[in-house]
Structure 1
Amino acid sequence: MSGLAITGLGLVTAAGIGVEASWAGILRGESTASADPALSGMVTDFSCRVPGFDADAQLGRRTAWRQERCAHLARVAAREAVADSGLDPATWNGARVGVVVGNSLGGTMTFEQQYEILRAEGESQVTPLLIPMAGTGSPTAWLSLDLGARGPSLAPATACASGATALGVAWDWLRSGICDVVVTGGAESALSPLIMAGFGQLGALSTRSGDPATASRPFDADRDGFVAAEGAGILVLERIEDAKARGARVHARLAGYGGASDAYHITAPHPHGDGVERASRIALEAAGLHPCDIGHVNAHGTSTPMNDVIEGSLIKRLYPEGTPVTSVKGTIGHALGAAGGIEAVCTVLSVRDGIVPPTANLDRLDPRIDLDIVRKIPRQLDIRAAVSNSFGFGGANGVVVLTRD
C-alpha cells in the first residue's frame, strides 16, 4: 500500500481553534450550534461559528483587515498544519510547493457589506479590496503569500465537495511530480444573511430555532435540515519516500481519491447515489483496496432528509454490513466548502488514533437507514483504512481513502 504521506494537520472549527481543541470537542459529540446575532430575525437564526476567534490577535490587525474571514480561518489552520509537518517555509524550495484550498462561496460577508455601502454612499466609497477579499480564490492566494509557496495554486469550487476536490488535485500534483509538497484542504465562512436566506429558501436549513443545539441530527428520523457552519481543515501532503527520508512523522496516508458527477440535478442528489458510488469505486481502485477493506466511513451526513437516506443506502450497498459510520456535522455543523477538508482531518485522526467520534443528536435512527452509526460516545476501533465522503450541489462528489501508515 503506497499513497501519499499526510505529515501536517490544522483545524479551526466550531468545536475549537486548533487540532487538539477541535478533536476533543468532536469526540465529546456535543452540538456547537447556537443563536447567531448576525442572523437575528431570520427563520433560521442560528449557526455553528468558531468561538473566540480573533483575527487581529491571530494574524495581526494590519494583515487581518485586508482579508475575508474565510482567509483568516485558512491561514490559522495552515500555519498549524505546516508547523506540525516539521517543514520550514523559510528554507523549503517554494517553487516546488503547491497550494490548493477548496472554497464554495467566497467572501459573502464582504459582498453584502460593500453592496450596502454602494447603495448608501455611492461607488467611490466601495473598498478597492472588494475583489481580492471576496473571491473564492482568496484563501489559496493568501496561503501562497503567507508560506512563500510558488508552485501551482488552485481554488476548487465544487460546492460542498470543494475540500475533497482540493485533496484530489493535490493527489494528482504529487503523483505527477509537479510538486514535492502540497498544502491543501478547505476553508469557508459564509454565514451571511443573504446566503442563509438562499439556503433557507431551498428548504435545506433546519428551522429548530427554539432549540438549535438539537438541530443538526444526521441520520435521525426527526432531522429537518442542516446547520450552517464555518471553519477550515488543512493538510500537508508529501510523497511517502520524501517524508520518510527527512524523518517526518506520518499521521496517515492519502491512499486514493475519486471524483464523479451525478449530471442529474442542480441541487438534488442522484436518487440512487450513482455519482457517489462511482467516486467511491474510483477511490478504492486508486488505493488498491476492496470495499471489504474499509473499517470506517466518515459520512457526508448533512442532516437533510434526502441526503442522509441516499447516502445511507449507498453505504449499505457498497460496504460490509456493520461498517461503523459517523457524521461530525451533528457536532460542528456543515461548513460547506470547508467540510471535505475538515472531515478528511477527522478521518485521519480516527485512523491514526483508532477512535471514531459519535454522531451528535442521533436519538432515533431513521428506519430507512440500516447502518451501524456511532452515537452517544466515541468508539475505539482498529482502523486500517477509512473513507471520507463529500457531496455538493450540482452533483459534485469527492471521496478520499485514508489508511494507517
Structure 2
Amino acid sequence: MNSKRVVITGLGALSALGNDVSSNWSNAIQGKSGAGPITYFNAEKFKTQFASQLIGFDPSSRLDRNEIKRADLYTQYGLYAVAEAMEDAGLEIDRLDSPFDAGVIWGTSQGGMNTFEKEMREFVENDSNPRFNPFFIPKFLGNMASGLISMKYGMMGINFAPVSACATSNSAIMDAFNYIKWGKAKVILTGGSEAPITEASIGGFGALKALSTRNENPLIASRPFDVERDGFVMGEGAAALILEEYDHAKKRGAKIYAEVVGAAMTADAYHMTATHPEGLGAFQCMKFALEEAGLTVQDVDYINAHATSTPLGDVSETKAISKLCNGEKNKLHISATKSMTGHLLGAAGAIEAIFSVMAIKDGVIPPTINTENLDPNIPSDIEIVYKEALSKKVKVALSNTFGFGGHNATVIFQEFKD
C-alpha cells in the first residue's frame, strides 16, 4: 500500500488560556496560568477547591440553540473548537468529491459527566415524580461529540471515538493519521474535548490524591518537575485539528501548518494509575514513533511533555526521554504546557498538539511555569524550558500523552516542505 503524506490544515482551541487558537497561543508563550477558584459549584467540602476553568465561554457565538440544548458541555466544547478549525481550514465538505472522503475521530475520557451527574441528582431528589430526560443517554455518551460533529458538517466517512484516558486525543490523532496515510480518507477532523470540572471528577481525582491542594495560591499549583509538586490542576476545554491528505490539500490551495510524520501507542502493563517507574512504555512509544517517521532523537527540537505535575509521572517520563537520548545532551528542549492550561484529560493531547504545531510555525517553545526547584530525580541531561518562552527554530516536535490504565501515545509533527 502506498503511504500518503498527512498535513494539518486547520486548528481550533478552547481552554482556560482562551477561546481560540490565537489567545491560547499568545497566553501560553507569555507563561500565563489559567488556574483559579472553582465557580461551577460549592467546592468548600473538597480538598481541592480550584481548577483551570474557561473564561467568558459563550457557546451561542458558534452554536445554535438546538445544538446547545441537545449537547452535553463536553460536546459543546468540541463543536465550538471544531467551528474554528473548519473556518481556519476553509474546508467545505460539499465541495469534496464525496462526503465519504471526510471523517471524524474525536476523543474524550469522561464524556458527558455533567449530564450524568445532573440527571442522577434530579432523579434521586424528585420523590414525587422521578424521571430521566429523554436526552439523558444521547447527551452523556462518549461518542456523541464525534457523531454530532459529523452530522453538522456532513462528514460521512470514518467516524468513531477512541478512549484511552489522558492519552485519548493523541490516540485519535494517530488513528486519523493512519487512516489518511492508508488511503482510507482524504480529510479527518480529529482532537478531543473534556468538561471534567464537576463534583464527581474533583472528588474522585481528589480521593486518588492526584490533584494539587494548593488552595491558597492556585496560579502556582501546577509545577511540573518541581521538587514540591503535589498533583495536577484539573482543566477543561477542547482542541481540533484538521488532518488532510497532502495532494488533496494542495489541490484546493489550503494553507499547511505542519506535517504529521509518525505516531505510536504502547502499554505500560504495570499499574492502574501509576506510570512505569522507569518509563519503559513511554520510551518504546517515542522510539516507535521516531522509527515510523524515519527520524532519530537528534532530529527532535522540542518535546511537549505529558508532565502533569505529579510526583511519579514527571520523573518516569524524563527517565524515558533520557534513555531515548542515551543519557547525552542534544539540541532538544522540553516544556510542560499543563503548567498553564491545567490537565484537560482526554483533550490534553489535542491542545498540546496545537502548541507543538505552533512552536514549529512561529519558532517559539512555550515555557514551563512555576518550576522553582528542580526535583533531583529528574535526569541532568534534560533541558527544560523554564518561566519564559524560548525562541528557537523548531523543525520537529514530539508530543507525549499517558493515561490511567497504562496507555502511552506519542505523535510527531514536522515542518512542512513541499
TM-score in terms of structure 2 length: 0.94
Q: Does 1:105 align with 2:105?
A: no
Number of equivalences: 405
In structure 1, what is the equivalent of residue 341 of structure 2? 332
Query: 1:231 and 1:39 mapped to 2: Cα distance?
Result: 21
Cα deviation 1:249-295 (Å, max 9, x = unaligned): 11001110010111111111111111111111111111110111111
CA RMSD of aligned residues (A): 1.4
115-124 vs 199-208, which moves further: 115-124
**Would you say the 8 A contact 1:351–1:403 is kept in 2?**
yes
Output the amino acid matched with 1:209. N
CA distance in 1, matches of 2:180, 2:55: 35
- Residue number among 394, 399, 405 corresponding to 1:383 in the alignment: 394
Give the Cα separation in 1 of the matches to 2:31 and 2:144. Answer: 32
CA 39–312 in structure 1, closer or farther in 2 if over 3 Å, else same: farther
Is the 8 Å Cα contact of residues 3 and 287 (structure 1) preserved in structure 2? no
1:346 aligns with 2:355: yes
Corresponding position of 1:372: 383
The one-letter code of the counterpart of 1:96 is: D
Residue 83 of structure 2 is aligned to residue 75 of structure 1: no
Cα pair 2:4 2:182 within 8 Å, conserved? no
> Residue 287 of structure 1 aligns with which residue?
293
Preserved contact between residue 39 and residue 192 of structure 1 (Cα < 8 Å): no
Please report how far the alpha carbon of residue 301 of structure 1 lies from its aligned counterpart in structure 2 after TM superposition.
0.8
Letter in 2 for 1:40: A
CA contact (8 A) 2:102 2:187 kept: yes
1:124 Cα deviation from its structure 2 partner: 4.9
Match of 1:62 among 47, 66, 69: 66
Given that 2:4 and 2:181 are in contact with CA atoms closer than 8 Å, whether structure 1 keeps it comes out as no
Assess if the C-alpha contact under 8 Å between 2:4 and 2:183 holds in 1.
no
Does 1:203 find its partner at 2:209? yes
Q: Secondary structure at the match of 1:219?
A: coil
CA contact (8 A) 2:235 2:341 kept: yes
2:9 counterpart SS class: strand
Q: What amino acid is aligned across from residue 93 of structure 2 in structure 1?
A: P
Whichever residue aligns with residue 246 of structure 2, its letter is I
| Letter matched to residue 352 of structure 1 | K
1:106-151 per-residue CA deviation (whole Å, 9 max, x = no partner) reads: 1111111110111122675311111111111121111111111111
Alpha-carbon deviation of 1:307? Answer: 0.4
Matched, 1:313 2:319: yes
Cα deviation for residue 94 of structure 1 reads 1.8
Q: How many angstroms apart in 2 are the aligned matches of 1:376 and 1:306? A: 22
Distance across 1 between alignment mates of 2:205 and 2:282: 22
Give the deviation of 1:243 after TM superposition: 1.4
Query: Could you say what secondary structure the match of 1:16 adopts?
Result: coil
On the 8 A contact 1:97/1:150 being kept in 2, the answer is yes
8 Å Cα contact 1:69/1:189 also seen in 2: yes
Equivalence map 1:72-221=2 (5 Å): 72-92=76-96, 93-121=98-126, 124-221=130-227
Counterparts in 2 of 1:58 and 1:239: CA distance versus 1, 3 Å: closer
Measured against aligned partners, the alpha-carbon deviations of 1:310-362 in whole angstroms (never above 9, x if no partner) come to 11111122135152100100011000000011101110000111100111111
Report the TM-score, using the length of structure 1 for normalisation. Answer: 0.97
Q: Residue 248 of structure 2 aligns with which residue?
A: 242
The alpha carbon displacement at 1:39 in A equals 4.8
Unmatched tracts of structure 2, length 5 or more: none
Instruction: Quote the offset at 1:2 in angstroms.
Output: 7.5
Q: Is the 8 A contact 1:96 1:181 kept in 2?
A: yes
Gapped runs of 5+ residues in structure 1? none
| Identity between Structure 1 and Structure 2 (%) | 38
Matches of 2:319 and 2:208, distance apart in 1? 23
